[in-house]
Structure 1
Amino acid sequence: MTKTAIILGATGLTGSFLLKRLIDDNSFSTIKLFSRSSSNIKNSKIEEHIVDMFQLKKQTETFTGDVLFCCIGTTKAKTPDKETYKKIDYGIPVAATKLAKQNNIAKVVIISATGANANSSIFYNKVKGEMERDVLAQEVSETYLLQPSLIGGERNEKRTGETIAQFFAKTFSFLIPKKYKLIEPETIAKAMHKLAFKTYSETRICSDEIKRIAKT
């Protein structure tokens, strides 16, 4: 029996790679995209829902499927206002997981970040940690929180700080512990795709484990 996937963040870097993989996978017959703007990708599998992402709770009737992939995330540079940042990085994944639980979606795969910690004194790590805590509180049958380190790849928008960080991460890779090494968006997307079909022993999955899953 074919599956229905939901993707949040399909217009982003990792989400776009994941979308391409699911389009090519005959195991998925329907791919529901929830976003504030169109992906501009035309395919018979795609069912687009252009919505207010801060009001996902209103999408109860259409938010149905077998697996939820959440690739939503912003940056300090792109979203300097902390309240808006939290609405995106905390509010959207938690609201989506609540809908998944309500609609009996058995598997949730969410991109979080290395350093996520609800007790952290660093705002951005704290937001990710609170998101993880409240996602897990929904008790969906299978929940996977991917914690990648710095994500590589070329983006449409200019992110000077990330570009510099990527340069140093590549140049001095031999000095960086595996957990913190640069990871490519294609690798994350590949691991997310594979997690749709397997049960993994851990809920929180760090960068080196993401790479391992992608290779298996």
Structure 2
Amino acid sequence: MGMRAAIVVGATGLTGTSLVEQLCENDEYVSVTVIARRKPAFEHAKLEVKIRNFDTLEENDIEFAHELYCCLGTTIKKAGSREEFEKVDFEFPLAIASLAKKRGIPHMLVITAMGANETSPFYYNRVKGKLEHDLMELGLQRLSIIRPSLLVGERKEFRFGEKVGEKVLKFAKPLLVGPLKRSRAIEASQVAKAMIVIALYAKEQPVTIYPSQEIAALDFPEKKDEEALRENLFNWDKNKAPNTIGKDDKVNRDVIIDRDKFKIKETVVDKEVKFKRRDEK
């Protein structure tokens, strides 16, 4: 059983919902805190929910955790305007990252998008690219950027464009090989699992970007055979170090104990003591 704590923002979306469930079921985590504008349907003994308005989020709203998982994201149609879209996809994640840095959270994992680039001709990718750039400039202790392709899964809301794209990519999947493999649609549950794998097992470095094809391949390491492990641990005869010290190898010392002062004094009788090297026979 581990002793890790996690904070999740964007927990009511497609990926965030799966992420919270997987974190709660993972033995490495004892505490999962969700900061959201509405209560998620999922409940668990490890889960704590803080209902907050992201416009007025303060440092005290974020306690220390080992990881901050950011799954915030929307669409222009749902947001109602570009200004509101940027607030959810850019301003909120950046502000939360800044608060997390002040609270000493060592690792932030954030979902952006495949093709995120400040200079992209596509508005959505420009916003995501700008977020990545500003998060890097913030100087977080560790930042993991997750760039999935089209996310698929059972959404609570219907998104016509994504449903069409999902069907197209499903039929085109056999043709998406080589460099095109990164464009394959990816299950939101796999993205959530990959984020946990990255948090627990990936090499620690200041900034790492994970493209969609790499996210799709990430999985937990295989567990060792517990019975074999127990056998090795409790096989005392096998693990006991052999007594290879001979008479000639022992140091010739007379130890005199001064019991009045409770100190141990050593008098070396044989000053020319020769020690065998480990590789000598």
Name the TM tier (shorter chain): over 0.9
What is the SS of the residue equivalent to 1:174? helix
Percent sequence identity is 32
What is the SS of the residue equivalent to 1:48? strand
What is the SS of the residue equivalent to 1:109? strand
Query: What's the TM-score once normalised by structure 1's chain length?
Result: 0.93
Q: Does 1:192 align with 2:210?
A: no
- The aligned runs of 1:1-216 (5 Å cut-off) are 2-56=3-57, 58-176=58-176, 177-200=180-203, 203-214=208-219
Pairwise CA RMSD of aligned residues?
A: 1.6
Counterpart CA distance in 1 for 2:62 and 2:94 is 17
The answer on whether the counterparts of 1:188 and 1:214 sit within 8 Å (CA) in structure 2 is no
Counterpart CA distance in 1 for 2:4 and 2:113 is 27
Relative contact order higher in (CA < 8 Å, ≥ 6 apart): 1
Counterpart CA distance in 1 for 2:220 and 2:45 is 29
Counterpart CA distance in 2 for 1:43 and 1:7 is 14
Counterpart CA distance in 1 for 2:94 and 2:63 is 14
Query: Which amino acid letter does the alignment assign opposite residue 7 of structure 1?
Result: V
Query: Which amino acid letter does the alignment assign opposite residue 206 of structure 1?
Result: P
What is the SS of the residue equivalent to 1:214? coil
Query: Which amino acid letter does the alignment assign opposite residue 96 of structure 2?
Result: A
Query: Which amino acid letter does the alignment assign opposite residue 214 of structure 2?
Result: E
Counterpart CA distance in 1 for 2:165 and 2:133 is 28
Structure 1 residue 64: Cα displacement = 2.1
Note the residue ranges of structure 1 that are not aligned, 5 or more in a row.
Answer: none
Query: Which amino acid letter does the alignment assign opposite residue 70 of structure 1?
Result: C
Counterpart CA distance in 1 for 2:127 and 2:63 is 25
Counterpart CA distance in 2 for 1:130 and 1:38 is 29
What is the SS of the residue equivalent to 1:157? coil
What do the CA deviations read for 1:71-101 (whole angstroms, capped 9, x no partner)?
1111233224000000000011111111121
Greater Cα radius of gyration, structure 1 or 2: 2
Query: What's the TM-score once normalised by structure 2's chain length?
Result: 0.73
What is the SS of the residue equivalent to 1:137? helix
Count of matched residue positions in the alignment of Structure 1 and Structure 2: 215
The answer on whether the counterparts of 2:62 and 2:100 sit within 8 Å (CA) in structure 1 is no
Query: Which amino acid letter does the alignment assign opposite residue 77 of structure 1?
Result: K
Structure 1 residue 215: Cα displacement = 6.3
What do the CA deviations read for 1:152-211 (whole angstroms, capped 9, x no partner)?
112111111111110000011122311111000011011011111123466111100101
Query: Which amino acid letter does the alignment assign opposite residue 212 of structure 2?
Result: S
Counterpart CA distance in 2 for 1:106 and 1:127 is 25
Q: Which moved more, 1:5-14 or 1:47-56?
A: 47-56
Q: Which moved more, 1:84-93 or 1:17-26?
A: 17-26
